[in-house]
Chain A
Amino acid sequence: MAAGVATWLPFARAAAVGWLPLAQQPLPPAPGVKASRGDEVLVVNVSGRRFETWKNTLDRYPDTLLGSSEKEFFYDADSGEYFFDRDPDMFRHVLNFYRTGRLHCPRQECIQAFDEELAFYGLVPELVGDCCLEEYRDRKKENAERLAEDEEAEQAGDGPSLPAGSSLRQQLWRAFENPHTSTAALVFYYVTGFFIAVSVIANVVETIPCRGPARRSPREEPCGERFPLAFFCMDTACVLIFTGEYLLRLFAAPSRCRFLRSVMSLIDVVAILPYYIGLLVPKNEDVSGAFVTLRVFRVFRIFKFSRHSQGLRILGYTLKSCASELGFLLFSLTMAIIIFATVMFYAEKGTNKTNFTSIPAAFWYTIVTMTTLGYGDMVPSTIAGKIFGSICSLSGVLVIALPVPVIVSNFSRIYHQNQRADKRRAQQKVRLARIRLAKSGTTNAFLQYKQNGGLEVDRGLDSSGEEQALCVRSRSAFERQHHHLLRCLEKTTCHEFTDELTFSEALGAVSLGGRTSRSTSVSSQPVGPGSLLSSCCPRRAKRRAIRLANSTASVSRGSMQELDTLAGLQRSPAPQSRSSLNAKPHDSLDLNCDSRDFVAAIISIPTPPANTPDESQPSSPGGGGSGASSTLKNSSLGTPCLLPETVKISSL
């Protein structure tokens, strides 16, 4: 009920005195009225902006947050006001709803933010007033469509990587539909494009008169008749290619009936049929006329380009969607043509030697005039004819100009939609990367924490301990508690968190079942796979080394970590000194401690330093590590600085 109804209720109840004398039964007792405290002013503080209103105003809608006792949860006894940590600009609209009974939708705010505010205050979106309802609905629908498109695109975006078990048919179809997916498809795409162009050009050139050698000079004949064999061969080649393509598509199509009915396949058929009909039909005089006509259809090959050009497709789609406007245009033009042609015919009837011999003959004049072509082959000579002729040309401009903006705006809308889709697809990669980054950020933070686990505890161990501490300690309270929680879970399940690579490595390692000697394994492992792999290899190599070094099947890096701290060793991404591939991340790691650049952070996220105590262990634990450890200390400094930074950013 509207707000006003509540204020008029006492009046309506009072007016019930009119029923009293007529009542045949005693009226029920009135509901108990709780001692009203009178009307008081409530102060609602929304992020610092204070709103004051009567309590009664808020009580009008008892099933919302402000109207019910739920607001008591937000009551701040010290200041005597209700504090909400929400957007004050949006709250204005919410409060106006209580005052006026109508909920208006702010035009410059994001519709999602508005929805969230409504949800918080317990207002149903249906309460939006009539004045704003249409726009609200439109914007919401637009948003929802966009989100749905995004989701679809995301799901489809994973599509290009088809399941390995897809049949030849599916692969072929995918290659046809998305030429960018594989090189062969791309080649095929360009080859067919080339042949379409060749075919069209050949059709055109065929008709150009060729200047023949001297003996044939009196009569110029078109090239097609001078070199019939050459053109025939070219035509045959093109048709063969087109036929092959069509048959392949037919074979690969998931739904053959639908494919057969589609426009593109029809165009394909129309493009190649004339050739075959020409082959089959015997060359006699009767049908050669029809045969010539058939050659006209060869020009439809040019429509095959629409597979190659998106703009063409958009144009075609626009024309299809503007069919009603086009129809209207045609209809109105026809009406106007008939009217004006009739008028002109009767106007010019009296003249001798007039061109306007009949009304259909006047059609031509009318069309030429209305479209402002004005060939001048038919010209009125009477005054009336001239007057009506000028009216005809003026109205022609108008009639044609009317439906055109509709078609143009349709085209523009579809074109922009396509552009937006492309833009979204381009940004999608960045978006997905960002999401993945955020997800991996927290995991990496935890894993990193586990690696440094001891460092935080043993702060005073080394002289450089302070530097390390400075870099390492930046874990917020939230992170600490979160990590504690993850730790508890690990302890509960007796399993540990690792990351993907480690996990897949573990699978591989288990299958290898290697328990080779430490030194050989360690020395061979990093180099072998390291040289093959990308910059992630140091980590992989280290992990493998760790695993093989540990005889226990359950690789627990945490336990390794404890071993390390006991041994007092630094973490050593030793392979970095060996493989040139690692130099880059090493450098970037160095830089990052200084620059704290987010971009750099992305690069180095995949290479969190793991601990490879084994690297230093086979070599002398102390000495061998010292040389490397100085540089390694740098990197170790670098990376812990890095990761909390990136984690912070990703937790934004």
Chain B
Amino acid sequence: MNLEGLEMVAVLVVLALFVKVLEQFGLFEPVSLEDSVEDEFELSTVCHRPEGLEQLQEQTKFTRKELQVLYRGFKNECPSGIVNEENFKQIYSQFFPQGDSSTYATFLFNAFDTNHDGSVSFEDFVAGLSVILRGTTDDRLNWAFNLYDLNKDGCITKEEMLDIMKSIYDMMGKYTHPALREEAPREHVESFFQKMDRNKDGVVTIEEFIESCQKDENIMRSMQLFDNVI
């Protein structure tokens, strides 16, 4: 048979259709160039269960009832038992609708995630809350210092503080009175360092921090705010 020109094309077309039909019927799997992404459907159904109530009671300063209430709320929102950063940001952003709280939420997340595994379990959550709400003033100041110390190296640099400050000011949003100026965070950082940095070495250590805070009446008084949040 002498195939020429269009006839060749016709035959090729027929062959291609044939292959396709076989593929459809699953009789003929061509070599796939890339692995089909079916892993999407295997959801990571990680379900984390916290330790028992008694252990948590020992570890934290909450009463049994308080722990129960806290856990019920936690479980309601996060049925899988852990919060990852995205969820955390989303939850926190609901409280500050005007501004952008995502950066601060990240810092907060890192502060709660004490073992740095990328997720906050109920134990982490409750441990952090216990420090803030039931701890001594020193504990609370410690926690705050830990929050500011982004790289956890024991001292707060101006850049770290600036990041924190900017994230806090971001939460305010655009519509403020008086209007936010660009330099406001920086000025705030300057005044902070002026107050806290005793030896003027450009960083604030934990001792300087606690010392300076203890000397400040306002701060000490405001610490009492958190005594009956729960």
User: CB within 8 Å of B: which residues of A?
Assistant: 1-5, 7-27, 29-30, 33, 38-39, 54, 56, 99-100, 343, 346-347, 382-384, 387-388, 391
Q: Check A23–B219 contact: CB distance below 8 A.
A: yes
Q: Check B226–A382 contact: CB distance below 8 A.
A: no
Choice from A3, A382, A384 contacting B76 with Cβ under 8 Å: A3
Q: Which residue on B lies nearest to A387, using beta carbons?
A: B10
Q: Check B6–A347 contact: CB distance below 8 A.
A: yes
B179 contacts partner chain A, Cβ-Cβ < 8 Å: no
Choose among B73, B144, B191 the residue with the greatest number of A CB atoms under 10 Å from its CB.
Answer: B73
Interface string of B85-99 (1 = CB under 8 A from A): 000000110110000
B-side contacts of A17, CB under 8 Å: 132, 140, 143-144, 223, 226
B-side contacts of A7, CB under 8 Å: 72-74, 76-77
B125 to chain A, nearest CB (A): 8
**In whole angstroms, how far apart are the Cα atoms of A7 and B68 in the complex?**
12
Q: List 12 A-B contacts (CB under 8 A).
A: A2-B94, A4-B77, A8-B95, A11-B125, A21-B141, A21-B192, A22-B188, A27-B222, A29-B225, A30-B226, A30-B228, A384-B7
Interface string of B137-164 (1 = CB under 8 A from A): 0001101100110000000000000001
Choice from B76, B192, B225, B230 contacting A22 with Cβ under 8 Å: B192
A-side contacts of B191, CB under 8 Å: 24
A-side contacts of B7, CB under 8 Å: 347, 382-384
Q: Which residue on B lies nearest to A390, using beta carbons?
A: B14
B-side contacts of A383, CB under 8 Å: 7, 10
**In whole angstroms, how far apart are the Cα atoms of A18 and B140 in the complex?**
9
B168 contacts partner chain A, Cβ-Cβ < 8 Å: yes
Q: Check A5–B94 contact: CB distance below 8 A.
A: yes
Choice from B6, B133, B209, B213 contacting A14 with Cβ under 8 Å: B133
User: 3 tightest A-B contacts by CB?
Assistant: A7-B73, A4-B77, A384-B7
A-side contacts of B164, CB under 8 Å: 22
What's the count of A-B pairs with C-beta under 8 Å? 118
B-side contacts of A99, CB under 8 Å: 76
A-side contacts of B68, CB under 8 Å: 39
**In whole angstroms, how far apart are the Cα atoms of A115 and B10 in the complex?**
63
**In whole angstroms, how far apart are the Cα atoms of A11 and B222 in the complex?**
17
**In whole angstroms, how far apart are the Cα atoms of A23 and B91 in the complex?**
24
**In whole angstroms, how far apart are the Cα atoms of A17 and B226 in the complex?**
8
B-side contacts of A8, CB under 8 Å: 73, 77, 91-92, 94-95
Q: Check B95–A23 contact: CB distance below 8 A.
A: no
User: CB within 8 Å of A: which residues of B?
Assistant: 6-7, 9-11, 13-14, 65, 68-69, 72-74, 76-77, 91-92, 94-95, 107-108, 111, 125, 128-129, 132-133, 140-141, 143-144, 147-148, 164-165, 168, 188, 191-192, 196, 209, 213, 218-219, 221-223, 225-226, 228-230
A167 to chain B, nearest CB (A): 64
A-side contacts of B10, CB under 8 Å: 347, 383-384, 387-388
Q: Which residue on B lies nearest to A11, using beta carbons?
A: B129
Q: Check A1–B94 contact: CB distance below 8 A.
A: yes
**In whole angstroms, how far apart are the Cα atoms of A448 and B14 in the complex?**
90
B-side contacts of A39, CB under 8 Å: 65, 68-69
Q: Check B14–A15 contact: CB distance below 8 A.
A: no
A-side contacts of B148, CB under 8 Å: 18, 21
**In whole angstroms, how far apart are the Cα atoms of A159 and B10 in the complex?**
69
A-side contacts of B14, CB under 8 Å: 387
Q: Given A7-B77, A10-B229, decide whether A384 and B140 contact each other with a Cβ distance below 8 A.
A: no
A-side contacts of B188, CB under 8 Å: 22, 24
A-side contacts of B125, CB under 8 Å: 11
**In whole angstroms, how far apart are the Cα atoms of A17 and B128 in the complex?**
11
A-side contacts of B107, CB under 8 Å: 18
**In whole angstroms, how far apart are the Cα atoms of A383 and B73 in the complex?**
75
Q: Which residue on A lies nearest to B107, using beta carbons?
A: A18
A-side contacts of B129, CB under 8 Å: 10-11, 14
A-side contacts of B192, CB under 8 Å: 21-22
Q: Given A4-B91, A347-B10, decide whether A27 and B144 contact each other with a Cβ distance below 8 A.
A: no
**In whole angstroms, how far apart are the Cα atoms of A14 and B147 in the complex?**
13
Q: Check B95–A9 contact: CB distance below 8 A.
A: yes
Q: Check A13–B226 contact: CB distance below 8 A.
A: yes
**In whole angstroms, how far apart are the Cα atoms of A4 and B76 in the complex?**
7
B55 to chain A, nearest CB (A): 21
Choose among A13, A25, A54 the residue with the greatest number of B CB atoms under 10 Å from its CB.
Answer: A13
Q: Check A20–B6 contact: CB distance below 8 A.
A: no
Q: Check A15–B73 contact: CB distance below 8 A.
A: no
Q: Check B228–A22 contact: CB distance below 8 A.
A: no
A-side contacts of B74, CB under 8 Å: 7
Q: Which residue on A lies nearest to B212, using beta carbons?
A: A21
Choose among A8, A346, A387 the residue with the greatest number of B CB atoms under 10 Å from its CB.
Answer: A8
**In whole angstroms, how far apart are the Cα atoms of A12 and B213 in the complex?**
22
B-side contacts of A5, CB under 8 Å: 91, 94-95
B-side contacts of A2, CB under 8 Å: 94
Choice from B65, B95, B213 contacting A38 with Cβ under 8 Å: B65
A-side contacts of B128, CB under 8 Å: 14
Q: Check B94–A21 contact: CB distance below 8 A.
A: no
A266 to chain B, nearest CB (A): 49
Q: Check A15–B219 contact: CB distance below 8 A.
A: no
Q: Check B222–A23 contact: CB distance below 8 A.
A: yes
Q: Which residue on B lies nearest to A3, using beta carbons?
A: B76
Q: Which residue on B lies nearest to A5, using beta carbons?
A: B94
B-side contacts of A20, CB under 8 Å: 140, 144, 219, 222-223
A606 to chain B, nearest CB (A): 64
A44 to chain B, nearest CB (A): 19
Choose among B72, B74, B95, B229 the residue with the greatest number of A CB atoms under 10 Å from its CB.
Answer: B229
Choice from B6, B108, B223 contacting A346 with Cβ under 8 Å: B6
A561 to chain B, nearest CB (A): 70
**In whole angstroms, how far apart are the Cα atoms of A27 and B14 in the complex?**
80
Q: Given A22-B188, A26-B221, A384-B7, decide whether A12 and B92 contact each other with a Cβ distance below 8 A.
A: yes
Choice from A19, A26, A30, A38 contacting B168 with Cβ under 8 Å: A19
7 further A-B contacts with Cβ under 8 Å, apart from A13-B229, A21-B209, are A14-B226, A27-B218, A30-B225, A30-B229, A33-B228, A54-B72, A384-B6
**In whole angstroms, how far apart are the Cα atoms of A1 and B93 in the complex?**
12
**In whole angstroms, how far apart are the Cα atoms of A5 and B90 in the complex?**
10
Q: Which residue on A lies nearest to B7, using beta carbons?
A: A384
A-side contacts of B77, CB under 8 Å: 4, 7-8
**In whole angstroms, how far apart are the Cα atoms of A13 and B10 in the complex?**
74
B-side contacts of A3, CB under 8 Å: 76
A362 to chain B, nearest CB (A): 14
B-side contacts of A23, CB under 8 Å: 218-219, 222
**In whole angstroms, how far apart are the Cα atoms of A494 and B11 in the complex?**
103
Q: Which residue on A lies nearest to B17, using beta carbons?
A: A391
**In whole angstroms, how far apart are the Cα atoms of A29 and B196 in the complex?**
24
**In whole angstroms, how far apart are the Cα atoms of A9 and B96 in the complex?**
11
**In whole angstroms, how far apart are the Cα atoms of A19 and B96 in the complex?**
15
A-side contacts of B132, CB under 8 Å: 14-15, 17
**In whole angstroms, how far apart are the Cα atoms of A570 and B28 in the complex?**
99
**In whole angstroms, how far apart are the Cα atoms of A99 and B77 in the complex?**
10
B149 to chain A, nearest CB (A): 12
Q: Which residue on A lies nearest to B223, using beta carbons?
A: A20
Q: Check A22–B229 contact: CB distance below 8 A.
A: no
A-side contacts of B147, CB under 8 Å: 18
**In whole angstroms, how far apart are the Cα atoms of A100 and B165 in the complex?**
35
**In whole angstroms, how far apart are the Cα atoms of A581 and B168 in the complex?**
93
Q: Which residue on B lies nearest to A388, using beta carbons?
A: B10
**In whole angstroms, how far apart are the Cα atoms of A97 and B68 in the complex?**
22
**In whole angstroms, how far apart are the Cα atoms of A343 and B69 in the complex?**
76
B-side contacts of A388, CB under 8 Å: 10
B-side contacts of A346, CB under 8 Å: 6
Q: Check A18–B91 contact: CB distance below 8 A.
A: no
Q: Check B225–A27 contact: CB distance below 8 A.
A: yes
**In whole angstroms, how far apart are the Cα atoms of A383 and B4 in the complex?**
11
A-side contacts of B196, CB under 8 Å: 21
